[in-house]
Amino acid sequence: MKYNPVEIIIRKRSGKKLTREELSFFIKSYLNNEIPEYQMAALLMAIYFKNMHPDEIQTLTEVYINSGKRITFPPDMPTVDKHSTGGVGDKISIVLAPIVAACGAKIPMISGRGLGHTGGTLDKLESIPGFRTDFSYSQFKKMVKEVGFSIIGQSKELVPADKRIYALRDVTGTVESLPLITASIMSKKIAEGAKNLVIDLKVGSGAFIKKMDKAEKLAELLMQTGKNLGQKVSVVFSNMNSSLGEYAGNALEIKECIEFLKGKKIPDIYTITKMLAVEMLMLTEIAKDRIEAGNMFGTVLENGKALEYFKRFVQAQGGNPKICDDTSLLPQSKFKIPIISSKKGWVKSIDTQAIGYALIEIGAGRKTIESQLNYAAGAYLPIKVGVFVDKNSEIGRVYCDDEIQGLSVANKIRKSFLIIPSKSEYDENYFKEMELIYGLENNLDE
Ligand code: URA
């Protein structure tokens, strides 16, 4: 071995900047199984605590990308992608990709599985009977060209470094690190070959980033890394103080996506999806202005074209497209346990991260790399911050296969709501602030 892995771990633990050679050696040796999981986990924890210099983050991203192949598309193809930094109930990619593809964009999307307390797009999609996310580089390229979009996972060919390290971070408490998030997201997004990228940067109690100052730092790192590697990146900051939509849990969210594509108006899903779609249509210059982009979004939702694209996508990736007509073909849970409010008043805050971790207990996410998911498990969570609830009213429901576990999860979710008996002007402003969404863009020409 060229280096001693322990010395590299100790150098990072002491806050030193690792060189390209050291990072490249460590990650290559890990992928070749010459460095064991426990040493990789130790390095990740050292990075978590000691952070990385922006140059080091750039190098780490490049090492991730170079661990596999890099896809290219013809320069005149309007390629664009979106990636979320992660949240509870975040199913936006699954409705956004068919909408934007139906408007004429091509979307090569490499996504992730559940991470920490958040769900993952790949796990949600794999709850569709037969659906696959493990396609080869060339099959992926073909689907993007022919179907308009494809959503697959990291593989031995595409960003294998992120595939292994992502799964390890999920179960070692090393997710909430700006350098690790940046390298993980940007490596996938550069390797997949999209020329344009919109980041949905989630901020709040259910996100990895809880405060705006840290979110702005992450946005800067993502935009700068994209710029250095020739990708145009826009960042939209969006609220993750309540879980997104009405459901959290793999198959439950697929059902919700189908209902949305069929025209059900779910306010937060609608607002954030429209905002991201407009951004993607502007970056690709498919729309000449935001008004035209907004109209295109409305049209493909209303005339059924977005749903048609979704069906074609499910079929192309091996899934049963009949789920679009009959959602009872999706996995179903044995029990539905109501979550009952013990107080009357306004929801001041929700510990959305605690909800995400509670859902892992019934199999909606993983505790170890080997954990088996229960695709039907999850929760109905219609109540958002700022909403009024009555004592003894149903504020949600747990979907599970084990009644005892379900009761305990329902209790944990109930306790994650902070309910105040009256609301002041201060609270009104606070609730408005919690709804804010706004955006930033890197400029490749500057
Ligand atoms: N999404 C990713 O792909 N990686 C992260 O680290 C966080 C969100």
Q: For residues 47 and 180, what is the distance between their CA atoms, to the nearest angstrom?
A: 8
Task: Flag whether 97 is in a domain.
Answer: yes
Ligand 1 atom with the shortest distance to the CA of 185? 3
129 and 202 housed in the same domain: yes
Confidence of residue 425 (pLDDT cuts 50, 70, 90): confident
Give the pLDDT of residue 18: 98
Domain assignment present for residue 433? The answer is: no
Among 83, 121, 218, residue to substitute to test ligand 1 (most atoms within 8 Å of Cβ): 83
What is the pLDDT at residue 445? 63
Out of 327, 355, 381, a domain closes at 327
Confidence band, pLDDT 50/70/90 cuts, at residue 202: very high
Is pLDDT at 433 greater than 70 in this prediction?
Answer: no
435 pLDDT band, cuts 50/70/90, is low
Backbone angles phi, psi at 442, to 5 degrees: -85, 150
Average pLDDT over residues 26-43: 98
Query: What is the reported pLDDT for 430?
Result: 67
For position 434, what pLDDT does the model report?
A: 63
Q: Which residue, by CA, sits nearest to atom 1 of ligand 1?
A: 85
Residue nearest to atom 5 of ligand 1 (CA): 181
Total of domains in the chain:
3
Query: Phi-psi category of 379—alpha, beta or left, where left has phi over 0 and alpha has psi -120 to 50?
Result: beta
**155/293 same-domain check:** yes
| 312, 327, 342 - which closes a domain | 327
Single pTM value for the model: 0.95
Pocket test for ligand 1, best of 81, 85, 164 (most atoms within 8 A of CB): 85
* Domain match, 241 and 120 both: yes
Q: Which residues are catalytic?
A: 83, 162, 169, 184, 188
Position 424 scores a pLDDT of: 78
From the alpha carbon of 118, which atom of ligand 1 is closest? Answer: 8
Ligand 1 binding pocket includes 209 (Cβ within 6 Å): no
Question: Do 91 and 223 belong to one domain?
Answer: yes
CB of 179 within 6 A of ligand 1: the answer is no
User: Token pair 């105040």 is at which residue?
Assistant: 420
- pLDDT recorded at residue 436: 60
Answer yes or no: is the C-beta of 120 below 6 A from any ligand 1 atom. Answer: no
What is the span of the domain harbouring residue 220? Answer: 80-163+180-327
Output the CA 118–ligand 1 centroid distance in Å: 10
pLDDT tens digit sequence for 368-424: 999 999 999 999 999 999 899 999 999 999 999 999 999 999 999 999 999 999 887
121 shares its domain with 203: yes
Q: Are residues 282 and 351 in the same domain?
A: no
Q: How confident is the model at residue 431 (pLDDT cuts 50, 70, 90)?
A: low
- Do 240 and 204 form a contact (C-beta atoms < 8 A)? yes
Q: Does residue 174's CB lie within 6 angstroms of at least one atom of ligand 1?
A: no
Contact 373/360 with Cβ under 8 angstroms? no
Q: Which of 298, 327, 356 is the last residue of a domain?
A: 327
39 part of a folded domain:
yes
Structure confidence at residue 317 (pLDDT): 98
What per-residue confidence (pLDDT) applies to 219? 96
The verdict on residue 156 lying in a domain is: yes
Q: Are residues 128 and 112 in the same domain?
A: yes
Q: What is the mean pLDDT of residues 257-269?
A: 95
- Please, what's the b/e burial string for 405-415 (b: 16 or more CB within 10 A of its CB; e: otherwise)? bbebbbebbbe
437 domain-assigned:
no
Give the pLDDT score at 1.
80
Asked whether the predicted pLDDT for residue 43 surpasses 90, the reply is yes
Judgement on whether residues 289 and 373 belong to the same structural domain of the protein: no
CA-closest residue to ligand 1 atom 8: 85
CB of 184 sitting under 6 A from ligand 1: yes
Q: Are residues 343 and 322 in the same domain?
A: no
Confidence of residue 155 (pLDDT cuts 50, 70, 90): very high
Q: Does residue 146 have a pLDDT over 90?
A: yes
Which CATH number belongs to the domain containing residue 119 in this structure?
A: 3.40.1030.10
171 within some domain: no
Instruction: Judge if the beta carbon of residue 44 lies within 6 A of ligand 1.
Output: no
Let me know whether 115 and 21 are in one domain.
no
Q: How far is the CA of 339 from the centre of ligand 1 (A)?
A: 30
We report the CATH number of the domain holding residue 57 as 1.20.970.10
In a domain, 173, yes or no: no
Distance 91 CA to ligand 1 centre (A): 14
The answer on 350 and 259 residing in a single domain is no
**What is the average per-residue pLDDT within 273-277?**
95
In a mutational test of the pocket of ligand 1, which residue from 175, 177, 235 has the highest number of ligand atoms less than 8 Å from its CB? 175
Residue 170 domain-assigned (yes or no)? no
Q: What is the mean pLDDT of the chain?
A: 95
| Per-residue model confidence as pLDDT tens digits over 121-144 | 999 999 999 999 999 999 999 999
Same domain, 139 and 11: no
- Encode pLDDT of 339-358 as tens digits: 999 999 999 999 999 999 99
Quote the ligand 1 centre to 383 CA distance (angstroms).
Answer: 26
Domain harbouring 353, CATH code: 3.90.1170.30
